Amino acid sequence: MSYRVHVRVMPRAGLLDPQGQAVEHALGALGFEDAAAVRVGRAIELDVAAPSPQEAERRARQMCDKLLANPVTEDYLLDVEER
Amino acid sequence: MLEVAVVRFPGSNCDLDAVRAAEAVGAHAYLVWHRDTDLRAADVVILPGGFSYGDYLRAGAIARFSPIMQAVQRHAAEGGAVLGICNGFQILCESHLLPGALLRNARLTFVAKPVDVVVERTDTVFTSAYSTGDRLRVPVAHGEGRYVAADDTLRLLEAEGRVVLRYVSATEDSPLQPNPNGSANHIAGICNASGTVVGIMPHPERAADPIVGCTDGLGFFTSMVARRPQSPLPKVQNR
């Protein structure tokens, strides 16, 4: 079986996110004053061959811990979708 | 003669500057390709500046898994000296040879200019030629130089005196802007507990030859040759 894994990597809450601040400022300048607390992260998608969605998620978690996210500064969320 | 291995990753661009600075102080310096697995007889390893793997994903994140990095990890674990400059510092953090991480500059812009730093730790392999409190003017050139670490890690670094270089504020005779990237505690460089692994954002190899108008960075290279390669590492006292 193959699963499509969606990984969302976000800067850890509390850490300065200058990209988020810059985007928020630009939104405000465009008249979107209702936008607040903007954070900018990274989305990664990949196929994982695994016998079950649980196993696909376990493998994806290992990939995140080792490479895709920096445990010092980032948190990640996983979404596993059947192909 | 001191043997200095300078690792060249795809995207390194300060590798030859590092070789030249090491040779200028009498070391035998040579390049090692990132796919190699052997540092040869290196006494000192330098991870140079640049943009290894195009800074894809995070600066240093992919270079960390280059084959040569296993040899660098072993070298460091055995007490061997490692200096990471700029991208090299980022790689050392990603490799967990140094704590913390280097994030996008607080003002989001790439900063390439001279900065003033103060030397706070002088018993490392790379800073023994300086005196504590020496102010240096050295160039920085980075987009991701904002050092961050967990609060308890920062407290530990400060308590153990592991901040090697710190950005300093302007004075009358030094009107440069302080802290170019918004790093925690104005940190510009740190070392491991034993002072053998040092990571710094400024580029001493770009300020090591009178021809470029400044030699404040030369001490990083004279320090490493001043230490006899075979001598046991000095026990570092916590401060």
- List the single residue in A22, A67, A72 with the smallest CB-CB distance to B101: A72
Of B14, B75, B86, B186, catalytic: B86
pTM, two decimal places: 0.91
Which residue range(s) make up the domain with A28? 2-82
Per-residue pLDDT at B176: 61
C-beta atoms of A18 and B107 within 8 A: yes
Per-residue pLDDT at B237: 47
- B203 tagged catalytic: yes
Residues of chain B with pLDDT under 50: 229-232, 235-239
**Hey, how many other C-beta atoms are within 10 angstroms of the C-beta on A10?**
18
Taking contacts as CB-CB distances below 8 angstroms, the residues of chain A near B99 are 72
Which residues make Cβ contacts (< 8 Å) with residue B23, sequence separation at least 6?
Answer: B29
pLDDT digits (tens, 9 = 90+) for B105-118: 999 899 999 999 99
Region A53-76: mean pLDDT is 96
**pLDDT above 50 (res A50):** yes
Rounded to two decimals, the ipTM of the complex is 0.85
C-beta atoms of A72 and B93 within 8 A: yes
Per-residue pLDDT at B115: 93
d(CA A33, CA A49): 44
Q: Structural domains in chain B?
A: 3-226 (3.40.50.880)
Domain count, chain A: 1
- How would you classify the pairing of strands A2-11 and A42-49? antiparallel
Return the half-sphere exposure (C-beta side, CA atoms, 13 A cut-off) of residue B119. 22
C-beta atoms of A19 and B108 within 8 A: yes
- Residue A12: give its domain's CATH number: 3.30.1280.10
Per-residue pLDDT at B94: 97
Per-residue pLDDT at B172: 60
- B94 tagged catalytic: no
- B205 tagged catalytic: yes
pLDDT digits (tens, 9 = 90+) for A68-83: 999 999 999 999 999 8
